[in-house]
Every structure is written in C-alpha cells, then in structure tokens.
Amino acid sequence: MGMSTNAMLVYGYHLGGDDGGWLVHGAGEYGELPPLDWYDDEAEDSDGFQESAEQHLLATIGQFTEDDWRADGYFDRRRAAKARIGVQFDTHCSGDYPGYLLIAKGITVYRGSVEVIDFAALQAEVQQADADTKLRAALDALGLRPTQEQAQWLLCSYWG
C-alpha cells in the first residue's frame, strides 16, 4: 500500500487540531479545544471531533436526527440535510495528526496530477453559494470562533 501526498485548495477556515493546537478563541493554555456542549473528547464512547461536529450540524442546521440507516429514504434525507448545511469538514496534514478545516469548497490534487485552477470561477462559485453566510452559520451552531478573522482560500497538504 502506498502513501498519498495531496495538495488541497479550500475555501473556509483552518480550525487547527489536537496536535498543533486549536486555532479558536478560548483555546486552553496548551492549545486544547475549549469546552463545547456537543462534544466531550474525554468520553469513552466519543466519536471524535469531526464526527461529533458533523452530527451536531446535521441536527441543528440540517434538521436531521435519524440514526436508523436501514429506514427507507434515510440516505436521501441525509443528503438533503447536508445540502442545507452547505459546508463540510475536511482534514489536512496527516491521518495520524489531522488539522481540521471547515470548508465551503475544496479541490484536491493527487500526487502526480496537475489541475488547472480557474480562480475567478471558483470565487464566483463561493459567492453565488453564499458560502460566507453558511460557514458563519456552521461556526455559530458549533460555538466556535476561529482566530482566522474571515473565510479565505487556503492551500494545504495531506500526507497519509
């Protein structure tokens, strides 16, 4: 099995992570995540930050709280809820030491590939999708205030 080394261009917020410290207001002295009412990283049955955050956004913004994936139409309803949210999480750095990104748009270029980037079209796409409003709504629902003042285009890498 090989190692992937990918480049990522994303529009959104870099939130940091456990290894390098969280890049949010209220982070602890050593960069630890501030207390959040929807996440307990010390709970034995914790799903992890990204999974917990996604579930919280599905429930609060997407109005989707179903947990029986065998129910008829479950995946269609979940897909519609994700569309209502309009943003998603991604990670950069590595699988073992993820840095978390909350993004409205992302492009991944895999090792050995070249991708032409039409930056004007990308910028128009995020403006038309009202990405800034959706990102802000997600951050508000999560109770997170990034140290990054506004959504930006971020170039990052992933190795894993």
**32 is written with which tokens?**
């630890």
Please, which pLDDT band fits residue 2 given cuts at 50, 70 and 90? low
DSSP H or E segment with residue 153: strand 152-159
Interior CA angle at 73 toward 85 and 90, to 5°?
A: 35
C-alpha span between 118 and 132 (Å, rounded): 20
Name beta bridge partners: 156: 8
C-alpha span between 124 and 14 (Å, rounded): 21
What percent of the chain is predicted at pLDDT more than 70?
Answer: 97
**Mean pLDDT, residues 25-41 taken together:** 93
